[in-house]
Amino acid sequence: MYETETTNVPVSAANAIADLRSDTVTRPSPEMRRAMADAEVGDDVYGDDPTVNRLEAVAAERLGKEAALFVSSGTQGNLLGVLSWCARGEEVLLGRPFHVFQYEAHGASVLGGVAMDPLPVTDEMALAPETIATAVKPDDAHKPVTRLVSMENTVSGRVVPIPALRAAAEAARARGLSVHLDGARVANAAVALGVSLSDAVEMVDSVSLCLSKGLGAPVGSILAGPRDLITRARRLRKLVGGAMRQAGVLAAAGLFALERNVERLAEDHARAEALRQRLAAIDALRVSEPGTNMVFVTPPADAHADLLAALAAAGVKVNASKPTLRFVVHLDVDDAQIERVATTFERFMGR
C-alpha cells in the first residue's frame, strides 16, 4: 500500500505537459488512489458493495434528491435518465447545442425509441418558457407524446442562471412534463454561483453529475432523482450492461471527489479567468466571456495552424477545433502551466 507514492512519481512528472484539452484528463491523486486501494467492496449487483452504497447515499444527499445511482459515465447517466422518464414513442424536449443531443450518439432514440426535439436556446443557454410551451405536442395521433424537458448546466463552461432554469422547469411542470438536468459540470456552476449542489439543482426532478471531470475521479457519474425513477434506472443500467460488481474501488474515488474536490473548483475558475484576461489583452484574438473553467480563443484564421504548432512545441495540449481553440482548466493545471500558455500566445502574436 505504501508503494502508491512510488507508483505515482511518473504521474506527477507528466506535468511537463500542460494538458488543457478537457477536465476529463485529470488523474487520480495519490490520496485518491489510497482511498481506492483501501475501499471496502462487495458485489454491487447484489447491493452488497458498501462503498457504492455510501457514494449513492452521499450523492443523493448532496444533490438533495431521494436516491442516486452510480453509473459508468455521464452519457450513461443521461441515457438512463431519459429512458427512465420516457417510454418508446415518447419525446424529450432539449436544446440543440446540448450534449445529450450533440454528443451522445442519440442513444435515447437509438436504444429507447425516444424522440428528441432539438430547440433553440436563449442567450443564457436555457430553454425559454415560450419555447417549451410551443414545442409540447398536442394529443394527436400524428405526434409523439411529450414527456420530458432536458437542460444542461454548465453549457460550454457557462453558468446558466438559476432563475432561467427555474422558469423553464415551471413551464415544463405546468404542462405535466418532468425535468432532467445534464449536470456533468453542475458542481462548477454551484461553486461559481456560491450555492450548494442541492440549491443548484433544486428545480429539476433528475440530474446527472460527472465525477470524472473537474472533480478528478478516474471513472463514473451519478444519476439522482426520485426513488422510483432510480429503481427504473437501475434495471436499465443492467440492460445496457452497465451494472458493475466490486465497483467500490471506483466509488471510493467518487466519494473522495465529492468530499474533497468540489470547493477547490474555485481555483480552476480563478486560473481560467487569469488566462482569459491575459489572452483578451492580445488584440488579434477573439476571447470568450468569463466562464467557469473554460476559455475559448479564436485566433486569426491564417495563424491557426502555426499557433497550434507553437503550443505543441511548448508542451501545451489543447482542444484544437477550427476556428476556435478550447482551454479547460482542472486540478492538474497549475499557475506555471497557465503562464506557459499565456506567454506562448504573447510571443507568437508578437507582444
Ligand X SMILES: *Cc1c(COP(=O)(O)O)cnc(C)c1O
Instruction: Let me know: does 29 contact 216? Beta carbons within 8 Å.
Output: yes
Q: Give the whole-angstrom CA distance, residue 216 versus residue 253.
A: 8
Of 26, 146, 206, 221, the one binding ligand X by CB under 6 A: 221
Task: Considering the complex, state which of residue 51 and residue 153 has its C-beta at the smaller distance from ligand X.
Answer: 153
Binding mask 25-54 for ligand X (x = CB under 6 A): ------------------------------
For residue 264, give the amino acid letter. Answer: R
Q: Does 210 bind ligand X (CB under 6 A)?
A: yes
Phi, psi of 109 (to 5 degrees): -80, -45
Q: Does 74 bind ligand X (CB under 6 A)?
A: yes
User: Of residues 176-205, which lie at the interface with ligand X (CB under 6 A)?
Assistant: 182, 184-185
Instruction: Let me know: does 155 contact 189? Beta carbons within 8 Å.
Output: no
Contact range with ligand X by CB under 6 A, out of 13-21, 72-80, 122-130, 166-174: 72-80
Q: Does 73 bind ligand X (CB under 6 A)?
A: yes
Please give the size of the binding site for ligand X, defined by CB under 6 A: 11
Q: Record the cell numbers describing residue 313, joined without a space.
A: 512545441
Instruction: Let me know: does 150 contact 180? Beta carbons within 8 Å.
Output: yes
In the bound complex, what is the minimum distance in angstroms from residue 13's beta carbon to ligand X? Answer: 26
User: Of residues 76-105, which lie at the interface with ligand X (CB under 6 A)?
Assistant: 78, 99
Tell me which residue has its CB nearest to ligand X: 74
Task: Considering the complex, state which of residue 92 and residue 184 has its C-beta at the smaller distance from ligand X.
Answer: 184
Q: Does 237 bind ligand X (CB under 6 A)?
A: no
Of 56, 90, 152, 268, the one binding ligand X by CB under 6 A: 152
In the bound complex, what is the minimum distance in angstroms from residue 24's beta carbon to ligand X? Answer: 6
Contact range with ligand X by CB under 6 A, out of 68-76, 160-168, 245-253, 317-325: 68-76
List interacting residues with ligand X (CB under 6 A): 73-75, 78, 99, 152, 182, 184-185, 210, 221
